[in-house]
Each structure stands twice: as structure tokens, then as C-alpha cells.
Chains A and B, each alone.
Chain A
Amino acid sequence: MRHVVSVLVQDNPGVLQRIAGLIARRGFNIESLAVGRTHQEGLSRLSLVVTGDDSVLEQVEKQLNRLIEVIKVTDHSEPHVERELALVKVHVAGLEERMELKDIAEAFRARIVDVAKKSIIFEQTGNSQKVEDFINALRPYGLLEVMRTGAVALSRGEQVLKVREKKAV
């Protein structure tokens, strides 16, 4: 089963290494990992796509929570928005292929961001499955390069990941 997990972290040097190291060390299977700064100074946010049953997911969450710099972990089992961005460079053999590729891109709502004599770069945004389908649709024409960001996600509605208030122990 596929789970999207969001992690709010202090963006200290080495925090990504800690997370990547933990995942490797504990033998968790991850499909993708995306990371970026948030609107709050000192905080970064990661999205992990993890495959495994519920007990694996539980361990992923608990082990991540053990890291001192991890502030909050959530599994997006609730309604959420998930997006991934891909840049896909595909071979263009001739005019006929160019027209077909444009049709495919339109069907998938992909944008053309670079055109050259024998190649096109498409930009595609969507959930990971849609990105996957788009790449597969282009495959017969000859994929030259594919760069995917990995999925990023936010919960729908007012639910947010935030620093917990200090609580007495």
C-alpha cells in the first residue's frame, strides 16, 4: 500500500542526511522524497512516498518522530492534495510525431517548455499516477530524459502541520 507522509523539520545542516540515513538503515521502501523550505524561517517540509502495510507505516512515522529535528509527521490518509512535477524530454523524429506529441500533451494538460529540432521538453504536473501515465504515453516516441520531483502533498481544509505548543511533561 502506498502512503504519502509529510514531515516538518528544523532545517539544520544534515537533517536530510539523518532522514535518508534512517530510511536506509531501517530498510523502509520509499518511492520518492521531496523537500523544500516553508514560509516559516528555520522550518523545512518533506514529502515521502512510502510503500508498505500499516505496521511499516507506523514504524516509519515513529522512527521519524525519534529524530530530534523532526517536529511533526503526518500520514495523508485524510483528504489531501497531492502533486508531482515532471520534466520530460522526448525525441521528435519528424513532423508527424511532433503533431502526435502535441495532441498527447494537450490530453494530459502538459506544457511545452522547450522545443528543439529533434526534441521537446514537456512540463507535467499532477498526481504521481497521472505523471506516470503521461510518461508512458510518450515512451513509444523515445524518452531522452525524465526528471521528477517526487510527490508533494498538503491536507485539504484547515488542518496544518505546525510546531506543537510547549507542553508540560
Chain B
Amino acid sequence: MNGAAAILKALEKQGVDLIFGHPGGTIMPTYDALYDSPIRHILVRHEQGGIHAATAYARASGRVGVCMATSGPGALNLVTGLQDALMDSTPVVAITGNVAQSLIGTDAFQEADVVGITQPVTKHNFQVHHVNDIPRVLAEAFYIASTGRPGPVLVDFPKDVQQAAFSGSFEVEVDLPGYKPTYKGHPRQLERALEALEKAQKPILMVGGGAQNAADEIIAFAERTGIPVIPTLMGLGAFPGTHPLFLGMPGMHGSVAANRAIQHADTILGIGMRFDDRVTGKVSKFAPNAHTIIHVDIDPAEIGKLVRTAIPVVGDARWVAGELAKEAKKLEIKGWWKQIDEWRTKHPFAWKPKPYLQSQEVIQAFWEATQGRAVVTSGVGQHQMFTAQFFKFDRPRSWINSGGLGTMGVGLPFAIGAALARPGETVIDFDGDGSFQMTLQELATVKKHNLPIKIVLLNNGFLGMVRQWQDLFHARRYSEVYLADSNPDFAKLAEAYGIRGITLTDKAKLAETVKEVLAHDGPVLLEARVHHEEGVFPMIPTGGAAEDMIIENPREAVGAGD
């Protein structure tokens, strides 16, 4: 057995049955070994597609996603995906080939300092120098990726290590003296948290991506206490979007009810979320009335990083929420709910009916048709925010988007990973014409594996979110955002890949088209031609506070529009 076969055997030992990857020179020994391996390989058309698919696979399944690339350009194409997985705390292991050790540092063909370059974009990375270290290093990589605050780990294998004869053992122990994540919250801090909640007049619960694994416990805690729940963009699905205690997401494009509740809350319990600037707005003005912030996170470095935290709880969201659910009492907060209900009733997420097709109604129609029984992905931009606002996620791990990094182009590769993680489920990629064109080569991957993904391309002919900012903050100087003059015919493009393509322009045909898309057995791309004037509202401008929230499109409020 050579190193390459040992890599695959060690991956099998870690429970890997699926790898997303693209071969090339220095990883060829491992691809050769793959030829005889039971591990399934999904050939992507660009390494970025591979790592995004592995990321979505991890998020949709709760397992570690694995991707593979060759040295130099192949490995560098993983960089964006690694940072994306890092910021959204996703367990991914990236396997890369490198030039032989005798060539490292000589500017060899397809050589790059991948370990150096990926250090800041991974939770940890390794280069394997001795063939017999392969099982131990991979065991450590999977352990680091999947425990504590999950994250991406890259393991780099010089070609000679893959080719060397393996004589080591696969029975390895992980011993990382500097890495001991804390899962159980400190009992005294939990007591203090419960005391603070009991005293609270206006409490809220905010849950983030870290709570995706704790949905049952979060629901139990929320129902027991009757606390209003605000999932962040990454937390959507960790608490049901149709639940009466659900207020919608907070932040830049969050609901009025959620942002006002944060502004007026006296006590905030945050679980598995990190007070990102898109959530807080201007941090000095965030939650001005909250005298007590209780922050539960498995990463101690997140606690106290951005907001003053009265009660820090270092621990796993699931464990802590479970403990809190056992001990918490019903909160007497009728007055608070009355206030919140006023906000909710007065300012729900809404759009004004127009004669033309709108993104919001397309998303709403798919939600109604599926009743939320779908795994949904998106690119980044207006369509992403519309999806977060109008698709109600009732189940965890059912909404896969790029929150922290805001990576345009993730929608399609995310859908590929989700489809492979959750076979038999409906997978919808709500995408934008800008985002989609960043990774559309993965249509080939969809075709090759006949993945029944429903791509709903909301084409407004612009980089819509940039255009919206130009509209509001740059005196409508629409610099370099116009795409319509050079966009392809997306339905034809799909057909060119052998994928069913449908174009929808007529609003009246929305319902039947949605039905047709969902009923199609196999992949389908629906291009919905929507109007470019739509903006995402409410909106809190960058650096603003909840009080600066723009609730409705100001252009419409003054009857403007061009």
C-alpha cells in the first residue's frame, strides 16, 4: 500500500463515503488509488465548486464535508471556500496534493505555499511529511474540523508522500494537548442566566448557526419560557419560521419586530451566534436598553468580542439549551408580547403588488407549494435576503447560504452538496443572475450526476444589491452593475447542458410554472425575469442602528422611480 491508498483508507476510517474534487498533477497518485476505492467521488468543474459543495454537504447532513484538489492553482481555488466555511463554522476537510518535498521551495511547476496561504482561512492546516503519519494527521484533521466550533481543515500531501510505501497503523489516537473544547457550560453561569431571565421584563432569545444542531432544545426552551425568538440569518431553521414565538431575523434586512425588540429588550440570551456587524449595525448603539446580555458560545473568543457580556457561558449550544430548557420557568411577559405583536402586525415582511413579476412572490410561491419541505440554498445578494425573508424555514439544516463571507456564486455548488447530503428531498437554489454566473460551470456536475436540483434564477438584469446601495447612497450613479445587455438566455444555457430550462415572464403563470418546476423529475433551471427596481426592505444602512431602519422603499414612498 502506498501513501495515496493510505489516505483513502484513513478517510474511510473517518466515515467518509463522498469526496468532491478535481484531479491534477500532484494529487494523481491519490486519484489513482481512488479508482479502487469504495469512496464515491463527485467530479466538479472548478475546485471552488468542490469546496462549496463539501460545505453544503456538511451543513445539510451534520457530517464532515470533504473536497480534494491538486497543488498550486487547484489548491488556491479552495481559498474562498475555506474562508466561507471558516466564517460560517462549517466542518470541512480539504485534501490537497503538493509538489514532492525535494521540490518544495524551488518555485516548481504548480507550486504554491498552500499551507502558508491557507493558514488564516482554516481552523488548522497540516502538511504531511512522513507517509506513516497519514492516519494520525487525518484523524486529527477530522477531529479538529468537527468538534468545538467546527471549521475547515486543510491537509497537504506532497506527491512523494503519496507515492511512498506505507507501513504504519490505522489505529491512531488523537492527542492534541492544546485543543480541548468545552461542551458543558459552567453551572454557576447557567444559574445566573436563569436568574437573569426570570427577572427580565423584555427578554429575547437570539439563535445563530451554532444552534442548527440544537433545534429541539431551543424549541423546548422557548416554548417553556414563552420568550420571543430571533434567529439570525445563519440561525434560520434552528427555530421554526412558522412558530408563533418567531420574530424573524434581525439586522440589516431583518424584520421590524426583531430589530425593535432588540432595541427595547432588557435581557438578551444569545445562543450560538456572534453579534456580527450585519446583525448589530453600529455596535455602540446595539440593544441600548439591554442591561444583561447572556452569551452562550462554544468559542470563548466570541464572548465579549463585540458586545459587553454580563453572563458568559462557554459551551455547546445543544447542551446548554437542553439544560436551560430543563430548568427555565414560564416568563410573565404579556405586556412585552403585546408590544411585539403590534410591531409584527404593523410591519410584516411584505411587498407591494405590481403588474410585473417580483422576486418575493416567486419565493413565496415556492414556499407555499412545498410548505417549506425543501432544502434551500442561495447565492449572495438581494435574492438571498428575499429568500431569508419570505421562505419560512421550519427545520434545521434546511437553509444553506453564505452568511459571514457573503460569497457570490455559492448557490449552485451549495445545492449540489445539499442534494447529495439529502437524497430524496426537494433542493431549491434561489439564485441571482450575478451570483449564478460566478459558478455556473457546475451545471455540468448537476447533469453528470443527474441531481434533481431546482434552480430558480431570479434575473433582474443587474447586480441588484449593489444597485440598491447605489440607488440609496450613491446618488443613483449605477456604476458597473448592468448585466442584462450581456446575460445569456439562461433557459437555453441550461438546455445546452442537457438540463431542462424554463423562462417565466408572465406573472399570471407563476403558480403553474412553480408546479411544473417541482414536478419535473430531474434538474431544472427556471429563469424568472423579475423587475430591477425592487429593493430589499427593511434596511438598516451600514453603521446605522435599529432606529435608522428604512422600512419601505423610499423611492416608492415619494412616488419616484425611473
Contacts and interface: CB of A to CB of B under 8 A. Distances in A.
Interface of A: 9-10, 13-14, 17-18, 21-22, 25, 55, 58-59, 62-63, 65-72, 163-164, 166-167, 169
B300 A164 contact: no
A58 B304 contact: yes
Contact of A65 (B177, B183, B300, B305): B300
B300 A69 contact: no
A168 to B, nearest CB: 9
Nearest to B177: A163
Contact of B124 (A22, A68, A167): A68
Contact of A63 (B119, B177, B301): B301
Given A68-B178, A164-B180, A169-B182, A18 B119 contact: yes
13 contacts: A17-B119, A21-B120, A58-B304, A62-B305, A63-B301, A68-B123, A68-B124, A68-B144, A68-B178, A72-B178, A163-B177, A164-B177, A169-B181
A169 B301 contact: no
A10 B180 contact: no
Contacts of B127: 13
Contacts of B473: none
B115 interface: yes
B35 interface: no
Nearest to B126: A12
Given A9-B178, A169-B181, A25 B304 contact: no
Contacts of A69: 178
A28 to B, nearest CB: 13
Contacts of B181: 169
Q: Which 3 A-B pairs have CB atoms at the shortest separation, nearest pair first?
A: A62-B301, A71-B178, A68-B124
A39 to B, nearest CB: 16
A25 B121 CA distance: 11
The B interface is mostly helix, strand or loop, or mixed, namely loop
Contact of A70 (B116, B178, B304): B178
A68 B301 contact: no
Given A9-B178, A68-B176, A164-B177, A14 B304 contact: no
A126 B115 CA distance: 38
Interface in B166-206: 176-184
Contacts of A63: 301
B180 A68 contact: no
Contacts of B119: 14, 17-18, 21
A94 B179 CA distance: 59
B138 to A, nearest CB: 15
Given A17-B119, A169-B181, 5 more contacts: A68-B124, A68-B178, A166-B180, A167-B180, A169-B183
Interface of B: 115-116, 119-120, 123-124, 127, 144, 176-184, 299-301, 304-305
B476 to A, nearest CB: 35
A66 B301 contact: yes
B120 to A, nearest CB: 6
A13 B130 CA distance: 14
B178 A55 contact: no
A164 to B, nearest CB: 7
The A interface is mostly helix, strand or loop, or mixed, namely mixed
A25 B120 contact: yes
Contacts of A70: 178
A71 B301 contact: no
A59 B301 contact: yes
A169 B180 CA distance: 8
A14 B115 contact: yes
B118 to A, nearest CB: 11
A94 B374 CA distance: 87
Nearest to B124: A68
Interface centre among B120, B177, B183 (most CB of A within 10 A): B177
B177 A10 contact: yes
Contacts of A169: 180-184
Contacts of B305: 59, 62
A57 B305 CA distance: 11
Contacts of A22: 120
A52 to B, nearest CB: 14
Contacts of A18: 119
B305 to A, nearest CB: 6
Contacts of B179: 68
Contacts of A67: 124, 178
Contacts of B124: 67-68
B300 to A, nearest CB: 5
A55 B127 CA distance: 34
A67 B151 CA distance: 12
A73 B116 CA distance: 23
Contacts of A9: 178
Interface centre among B180, B183, B184, B304 (most CB of A within 10 A): B180
A72 B179 CA distance: 10
Contacts of B116: 14, 17
A10 B179 CA distance: 11
Given A55-B304, A164-B177, A167-B180, A66 B120 contact: no
Contacts of B180: 164, 166-167, 169
A59 B180 CA distance: 18
Contacts of A59: 301, 305
A17 B144 CA distance: 20
Nearest to A10: B178
B298 to A, nearest CB: 11
Contacts of A17: 116, 119
Contacts of A14: 115-116, 119
Contacts of B304: 55, 58
